[in-house]
């Protein structure tokens, strides 16, 4: 192969081509995320993660403690 042909092969792709590939990859990722979002195990994981994150806030801790008190009082009656 001549030096000129090697340079042509090593040429950086155009900006439009790079953007198009990025958009295509994002579309594939979004499609995969939509398919996995309906999975019950995935939803349980998201719910547990959300609860774990929210439980770090003081107001949520108080609300959870109040909820436990209410549940205990219901069990007693």
The answer to whether the pTM exceeds 0.75 is no
Under-70 pLDDT residues of the chain: 1-9, 77
Parse the chain into domains and list their residue ranges.
14-76
Q: How far apart are the first and last CA of the chain?
A: 88
Would you state the pLDDT for residue 25? 92
Query: Which positions ≥6 away from 55 have C-beta within 8 Å?
Result: 61, 64
Residue 56: phi, psi to the nearest 5? -75, -15
């Amino acid at each position: 192969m001549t030096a000129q042909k090697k340079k042509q092969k090593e040429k950086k792709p155009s900006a439009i081509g790079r953007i198009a590939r990025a958009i295509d990859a994002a579309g594939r990722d979004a499609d995969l995320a939509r398919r996995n979002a309906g999975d019950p195990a995935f939803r349980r994981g998201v719910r547990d993660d959300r609860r774990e994150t929210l439980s770090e806030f003081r107001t949520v801790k108080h609300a959870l403690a109040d909820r436990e008190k209410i549940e205990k009082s219901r069990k007693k009656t």
